[in-house]
Amino acid sequence: MSVSLRDVAQRAGVSVKTVSNVVNDFPHVTPAMRERVRRAIDELGYRPNLTARHLRKGRTGLIALAVPELGNAYFAELAAAVIDAAARHEYTVLLDHTQGRREQEVQVCQGFSARVMDGLILSPLELEPEDLAARTDSAPLVLLGERRYDLPYDHIAIDNVAAARVAVRHLLGLGRRRIAFLGARLNRTHQPAHLRLLGWQTELAAWGVPAEEALVATTHGWDHEDGSVAMAHLLDSGQVPDAVFAYNDLIAIGAMRVLFERGLRVPEDIAVVGFDDITESRYGAVTLTTVAPDKQAIARLAVESVVGRLKSAQNAESPRPTRELQPGFTLVERESTLGRRAR
C-alpha cells in the first residue's frame, strides 16, 4: 500500500503543507521541523510522485538522449552516465539511436515536442546547420561531439586534436616512428575521426617525423571488424608500422586480433593505442593503452545544461548565453604500449 503525504504528516505531527514544503525542498521550514519530517519519511518509506510534481511545474520529467549507436560500448557507457546524472535531478532519460544518419538526426531534432519531453541531448554525425536552424521545438537542446554549428545551443566536447597528440606523443616517446592511423574518414571533415587524424599529423610534424599517407587506413565504421580489416589491409600492402593509433578502442582491439593471428607481438613488434577507455579495453589478453574522455563530466555537464535552461525559462529569466564546454581526458597507459611490466 502506497504511503501518502497525509500519512507522513500524521507520523511527524505536522500539517500536510509542511510535509510538501520539505519534500519540495522549500526554504521556509525550520531545521528541527525538516528533520522531523525526513525521519517520518524514512520510517514510512514514502516516495514522492515525481510525475505529479513535474506536471505541477509544467514539466514531463523526461530528457531524451540520442546517440549514433547504442551498440557501441562508448555510447552505451555514456548513456549510463547520463542516466545517473539525470537521476540526481529527478529526471528520467529516454534513449534513441540515429545510426549516424542525417534523416534520423533531423527526425530526432524536429520530432520531439516540448510537451513530450523537457530537453534533448544529441550526439550528431551528419546533421547540417540548416537542419538545426529550422528547428522549431522549444525544448532545450544540448549537442555532444566535435562538430560546431555556430548556433545558439550548448555544445560539449573534449579537445580531440589535443587528445590525439597526447596519444601519438606517448608512442613517439617510446621510440616508435612508423605510426599508423586506423579509422580515418577522409571525406567527413566535421567528425572526430578527422580531428584525431589532424592530431596524429600535427604531433608527428612537431617531432619531425613524416606523416606517411600509406599508413592511414580508412574504415567504413567503428567496430572490431573495421579494425581487423584495416589492419589486415596495411599488412597485406607491405606497410608494416611499428605502432598503431586507432580512432577508438573497438578498432584497436580488432587490429590487435589480426596482429596476433599474423604472429606479431603487441607491444614488442607493434604498439597499439586506442581511444574511449571502454570496459573491454581493460580485460583483453593484452590490456589496451587508450585515451579516456571524462564521460562522467560529459554527462553531468549535458544534464546540467538542460536543467539550467529549464529553470531559467521557468523563472522567466533572460536566456542564458550559449556555452562551449570542454571536459578533460587522460591517457591510460597499459600493456599494449608498455608490456606486461605495466602491471
Summarised one tens digit per residue, pLDDT across range 263-284 is 999 999 999 999 999 999 999 9
Specify whether 174 is located in the same domain as 277: yes
Does 340 reside within a domain?
Answer: no
Summarised one tens digit per residue, pLDDT across range 144-196 is 998 888 888 999 999 999 999 999 999 999 999 999 999 998 666 557 889 99
Query: For residue 46, what pLDDT band results from cuts at 50, 70 and 90?
Result: confident
Mode of pairing for the β-strands spanning 289-293 and 329-332: antiparallel
Specify whether 265 is located in the same domain as 167: yes
Comparing 15-24, 186-195, 221-230, 293-302, the range with the smallest average pLDDT is: 186-195
- 227: containing domain: 160-293
Query: For residue 49, what pLDDT band results from cuts at 50, 70 and 90?
Result: low
Among residues 169, 166, 198, the alpha carbon closest in space to that of 181 is found at 198
- Select, from the ranges 35-39, 99-103, 145-149, 235-239, the one with the highest average predicted confidence (pLDDT): 235-239
Q: Are 279 and 268 in contact (CB under 8 A)?
A: no
Does 343 reside within a domain?
Answer: no
Give the bridge partners for 156, in sequence order.
144, 325
What burial class does residue 333 get, using C-beta atoms within 10 Å of its C-beta: 0-12 exposed, 13-18 middle, 19+ buried?
middle
Count other Cβ atoms within 10 Å, centred on residue 237. Answer: 10
Does 138 reside within a domain?
Answer: yes
Q: Are 211 and 201 in contact (CB under 8 A)?
A: yes
Query: For residue 27, what pLDDT band results from cuts at 50, 70 and 90?
Result: low
| H helix count then E strand count, the chain | 13, 12
In this predicted structure, what is the pLDDT of residue 322?
A: 86
Written as one letter, the residue type at 296 is Q
DSSP 203-249: HHHHTT----GGGEEE-SSSSHHHHHHHHHHHHHTT---SEEEESSH
What burial class does residue 74 get, using C-beta atoms within 10 Å of its C-beta: 0-12 exposed, 13-18 middle, 19+ buried?
buried
* CATH number where 195 lies: 3.40.50.2300
DSSP 242-275: SEEEESSHHHHHHHHHHHHHTT--TTTT-EEEEE
Specify whether 107 is located in the same domain as 22: no
Query: For residue 234, what pLDDT band results from cuts at 50, 70 and 90?
Result: very high
In this predicted structure, what is the pLDDT of residue 316?
A: 63
